[in-house]
Amino acid sequence: MSYTPVLPIDSGRYGTDEVKKIFSDESRLKYMLMVESAVAKAEGVLKIIPEDAAIEISSKCNTDFVPYKLWKDIERVTKHETASLVEAIVSVVSDKAKPWVHYGLTSNDVLDTAQSLQLKDYFEIIEEKLKNIIKVLGSLAEKYASLPSVGRTHGQHASIISFGQKFAVWTNDLLDHIIRLYEIKPRVLACKTLGVVGSGSILGKRALDVMNLVGSELNLYPVKAATQVVSRENYAEFVWWCALVGSTLDKIATEFRNLSRTEISEFEEEFSKDQIGSSAVPSKRNPIICEKISSLSKLLRSMPLVALENIALWHERDLTNSANERFIIPISAIVLDEMVESILRVLSKMVIKEDKIRANIEFTKGLVYSEFVLEALIRKGFSRSEAHKILRELSNKSRIEGKDFKEILLTDHIVSNFLSKEEIDQIFTPETHIEGSKEIVKRTLERIAKEIG
């Protein structure tokens, strides 16, 4: 009896084909063969193995000579992934080359370095996608830089903020993640060819020369030191980076979900003509893409815990990291890819309701301006505590009587003696209070131009 795929990333529900292909078993074979080829070539150049053997091995370490089926047929017998690869290569090279296949290597030299090749290709894709998000967010920050909106803390109206500043904040967060990516590449994209316990025992003093040549050939970074395996701190850092980026995308999605609440209604997610929001309520339009992003971020944030558990291995290595890494590394990469694609979709087709944004400023009948009235009274000579007490009392009066805060201020004998109607009118003009926001947006756009072009 056959079954449909269990995991949604395998069924096509999540992740793009270009990223999933990188982590497929067929691609894993391709990357492992690339490592074997580069090692043979390096050992031939250094005359560690016969040059003609090195040339032959290097030329046949590809899927034309070592197809996926051959590898898997052998593995079904040997029950060993890398040993099966070695046998497959041995089976397609001449007798004079056979002794020199996999020379001086151990399994994880191939597996870890191949994994670095996977992640190198993944980084190229995800970096460009993140840069696309940054550029879209930057354009939205610029578009809405002059649009005043409610700034909320604790879910309550607090002050005035440019709506564009929201996008500027997220832009800077993602720019920081790009910088973090640049910083972790030399550690995550590791090349290791130092043999059984990381001492280069078979190759001796030439071990580091081989590894340097292989690193150069594969555009990877030779490890400074290792046991049989690359230190798992490297991969924990990659998984953590994915979770960190995913958490920022969750932050964006969570803000959009809140802004789409019926009572706020400043944002609306794409909703196609024949889309169904609810099986029971025909009128519903739910922010399901943003909710998916938030849901996947919870999964993504669980991965670093496992990655951290993999750091402490017995002596020069054991296998307690191996099985779970086949989950946490590709799943982290693919889930993040899905989240990136999803937020791009949201940003490209969302509806921002400017009229509602402006209307919500007046929802509290002007109380959102109390910060600026406080500042104005301080400038008139009031102590902060004195002015704060007066405005707390007047704010409560506005709530109890249901009157506009501005009206309360104009009729209060203390405030009206110190602030003219013109000054109060200026305070209650929202555009007055977003100059700082606009400067933040301006500097954000300058940073985008400087760091990603």
**Catalytically annotated residues:** 154, 278
Q: What single-letter amino acid sits at 28?
A: R
Q: Which residues contact 97 (CB under 8 A, 6 or more apart)?
A: 52, 53, 56, 57
Spatial separation of the C-alpha atoms in residues 394 and 406, rounded to whole Å: 10
Helix then strand then coil, % of the chain, to nearest 5: 65, 5, 30
Provide the pairing of β-strand 148-153 with 156-162. antiparallel
Q: What single-letter amino acid sits at 385?
A: S
Q: Cα 206 to the chain's mean position, in Å?
A: 39
Residue 89 contacts residue 54 (beta carbons within 8 Å): no
Q: Which residues contact 249 (CB under 8 A, 6 or more apart)?
A: 293, 297, 339, 340, 342, 343
The CA distances from residue 4 to 13, 290, 328, 359, in Å, are: 13, 27, 22, 50
Residues across the chain: 453
